[in-house]
Amino acid sequence: MSSKRYLITPGPTPIPPVVAAAAATPMQHHRSPEFRALLLETLDRLKQVFATENDLVLFTGSGTAAMESSVANLLSPGDRVVVASAGNFGQRWVKLVRAYGIEPVLVEQPWGERLDAARIAGAASEAETAAVVVTHSETSTGVVHDVEAIAAAVAPTGAILVVDAVSSLGGVELATDAWGVDVVVSGSQKALMSPPGLAFASVSERAWGRAGRSTLPRYYLDWRLAADSQVKGDTAFTPAVSIVVALRTALDLILARGPASVWEHNRLLARATRAGVKGLGLELFSPDDDSAAMVTALLMPDGIDGQECYTVLRDRHGIVLAGGHGPLRGRIMRIGHMGYMNEFDIVTALAGLEMALGELGHTPPVPGGGVAAATALFAAQPVPVDG
């Protein structure tokens, strides 16, 4: 068993050494002027990554906490909410909305499909709809849904549009203001290449209006409490100071490179991953196009269990990929390509996958064919080394 670990999952993702070092600097008091300035700078930089001038609130919590904050701050009992779902994280919204006593109007599609903007807008226009809730990157299937098209289709209905961008923000374009997305929620541990523990929600004027009328209970996740403190660089409750310090450093790396350049980097890694998967004689489960920007899902060859492959990779080779959720458990494996990853992380994933599948009885059409396909693509479209 290798003692060196390679984390090539769709989150948490590897932390750049300078970000990890920032997290380990001496603890500071959250009500000090230094931390206040740092929090304001962090929020300012986050807004650039969110592509928004809306308010942005930060919570200490998992991404799900920010998702829940959208439900608790926007809705009231009896509200009509459309939830679009084609995977595990779409289903999380269903559970969240139900936990607050509201039965959502479901626009469900099979896991792996793209959400259908027209169907979602149709459901939202059938009756007065408070909110429409969708997932941007459906990490369980590898599909990045077309939020731009969904936003355009939903706009005429007047419903508040809420987007789960936990596993997409910073890794693929999400033009919050230009596309007219009212609420975007995200977390620190995916494309933002920081430790897990912070979650965010951007809130449009329209969303604030609805939040002012919402009667669901909330305190820790109250947007107003958070925003009123954060406008001064303060937080309503003691924040995860060390992760804010880390995130501030990570955001500087991202903005120094430029968001569009980061998206292009991820696209290249994704293309090489898809080429490599096919080079191994495997079939893609996620789309064979640039919409699979954050994670590539591949189908297991006949007779090979994905969970077994996952375990072999992890325990014999030290490579941590992701398996499948729910109905896809055992059928697929997922390779993350977001955050602090580069071409040789993809090479490692593909080489490891070939070795593990070999141990389980699958021989690729050409030995080394996965790595060869990926490196050929990288040779044609080099990944900048500063990433």
Among 50, 63, 162, 333, binds a copy of itself (CB under 8 A): 63
297 makes contact with a copy of itself (CB under 8 A): no
Q: Is the bond preceding 14 in cis, omega lying within 30 degrees of 0? A: no
What DSSP line would sit under 185-244, residue for residue? EEESSSTT-S-S-EEEEEE-HHHHHHHHH--S--STT-HHHHHHHHTTT--SS---HHHH
CB of 183 to a copy of itself, least distance (A): 16
Site membership for a copy of itself, residue 365 (CB under 8 A):
no
95 binds a copy of itself, rule: CB under 8 A:
yes
Interface with a copy of itself, residue 65, by CB under 8 A: yes
Shortest CB 87 distance to a copy of itself, Å: 16
Give the C-alpha separation, 51 to 44, whole Å. 11
Q: If binding is defined by CB under 8 A, does position 21 make contact with a copy of itself? A: yes
Please give the distance of CA 75 from its chain centroid, rounded to a whole number. 24
Residue 348 binds a copy of itself (CB under 8 A): no
The interface mask with a copy of itself, positions 204-243, x = CB under 8 A, is ------------xxxxxxx-------------xxxxxxxx
- How distant, in Å, are the alpha carbons of 59, 96, 168 from that of 66? 7, 11, 14
6: helix, coil or strand?
Answer: strand
Task: Give 193's Cβ-side CA count (13 Å radius).
Answer: 30
Does 186 sit near a copy of itself (CB under 8 A)? no
Spatial separation of the C-alpha atoms in residues 75 and 129, rounded to whole Å: 11
Position among 23, 133, 144, 294 found at the interface with a copy of itself (CB under 8 A) = 23
What single string gives the DSSP state of each residue in 234-274?
Answer: --SS---HHHHHHHHHHHHHHHHH-HHHHHHHHHHHHHHHH
Nearer to a copy of itself, 68 or 343 (CB): 68
Amino acid at site 16? P
Among 42, 55, 56, 61, binds a copy of itself (CB under 8 A): 61
Name which position in 39, 55, 68, 203 contacts a copy of itself (CB under 8 A).
Answer: 68
What DSSP string describes 342-375?
A: -HHHHHHHHHHHHHHHHHTT---SSTTHHHHHHH
From 112, 197, 233, 324, residue interacting with a copy of itself (rule: CB under 8 A): 197
Q: Is 87 in the site for a copy of itself (CB under 8 A)?
A: no
Cβ proximity to a copy of itself: between 52 and 73 the closer is 73
H or E segment and range at residue 278:
helix 259-279
Q: Could you say which of 42, 52, 54, 60 contacts a copy of itself (CB under 8 A)?
A: 60
Residue number, 7 or 373, with CB nearest to a copy of itself: 7
Alpha-carbon span 121 to 135, nearest angstrom: 15
CB of 32 to a copy of itself, least distance (A): 6
Is 118 near a copy of itself (CB under 8 A)?
no
Length of the chain equals: 387
CA distances from 233 to 22, 26, 36 (A): 19, 19, 4
Residues between 28 and 57 that touch a copy of itself (CB under 8 A):
28-30, 32-33
Among 14, 279, 287, 324, binds a copy of itself (CB under 8 A): 14
- Residue 344 interacts with a copy of itself (CB under 8 A): yes or no: no
Q: Which of 57, 75, 63, 211 is nearest to 131 (CA)?
A: 75
List residues near a copy of itself by CB under 8 A.
Answer: 5, 7, 9, 11-15, 20-21, 23-30, 32-33, 59-65, 68, 72, 95-96, 99-101, 187, 189, 195-197, 216-222, 236-243, 314, 320
